[in-house]
Structure 1
Amino acid sequence: MTAPPGRPPTTTGLKAGDLLRVTAAASVQFHTPMLFRVIRELDWVTYDGWVWVDGYQLDSNGQAVARRSIFVQRAGLALLRRQVLHHAGGPRPQPAATRW
């Protein structure tokens, strides 16, 4: 994943635990940006470039405040942190791509 300097990378495939910043670039309904932790990418049929994502809206402290399914343009999502598995099989988040 590559992104222009100063911008987080966009998503190519979402995984449980990924942390996203969802803005109006993903859908006009998100004119106020929000943090979103992915549960899963839903396999529902959509328009090309759009995706349904199930997850949790987070507050400024990173605490879940609402479970949501959002319909967004994949190219407009900013991936802040990718969830990866370490050698013991448990999840370990990567460092944040940006701080804001």
Structure 2
Amino acid sequence: MTARPSPGDLLIVDGRASVQFAGERALTFRVVSVCGQPTYAGWIWLTGYVLNRRGEATAKREIYVQLAGLRPARAPDTTARRAPHSRRASSYARRPDQGSAATGDRSGLRAGADAG
């Protein structure tokens, strides 16, 4: 990526952008702002958030990187993520001894109470 990043861009920052991000120190970075101050040719200061694998911000950082080493990152797929407690009401099965609330049939409840 030789074009200047813009706020909102999602980037891979690794050893190509700066030796300090080589290997295990590579990160996914969401740009918040780009410093307009002049620096060495081909280098730039970026402010933004480090993202984890789920796309959640874990830390705000200011980084100094080479423009030529920045690469666009794919946005994490958040559509498959669902909260485990988000069930529809119709997914609950009614037990046979509960009767039917819709018809007023409560015989299953009485039979269960009489049996005890």
TM-score higher than 0.5 here? yes
Instruction: Tell me if the contact between 1:22 and 1:78 (Cα under 8 Å) persists in the aligned partners.
Output: yes
Name which one, 1 or 2, has greater alpha-carbon Rg: 2
* AA aligned opposite 1:64: A
1:39 aligns with 2:48: no
Q: Which runs of 5+ in 1 are unaligned?
A: 1-9, 82-92, 94-100
Structure 1 vs Structure 2 CA RMSD: 1.4
Q: Which runs of 5+ in 2 are unaligned?
A: 76-116
Structure 1 residue 22, shift from structure 2 partner = 0.3
In structure 1, C-alpha distance between the alignment counterparts of 2:33 and 2:2, rounded to whole Å = 13
Instruction: Tell me if the contact between 1:20 and 1:36 (Cα under 8 Å) persists in the aligned partners.
Output: yes
Alignment of 1:63-82 (within 5 A): 63-80=56-73
- Normalized per residue, the structure richer in strand is 1
**What is the identity percentage for the equivalent residue pairs of Structure 1 and Structure 2?**
45
Instruction: Tell me if the contact between 1:11 and 1:79 (Cα under 8 Å) persists in the aligned partners.
Output: no
SS state at 1:29 partner: helix
- Alignment match of 2:54 (pick from 21, 38, 61): 61
* AA aligned opposite 1:76: G
1:22 aligns with 2:13: yes
> What is the count of residue pairs matched by the alignment?
73
The structure 1 segments of at least 4 consecutive aligned residues displaced by more than 3 Å after TM superposition are: none
* AA aligned opposite 2:42: G
- Normalized per residue, the structure richer in helix is 2
In structure 2, C-alpha distance between the alignment counterparts of 1:11 and 1:19, rounded to whole Å = 14
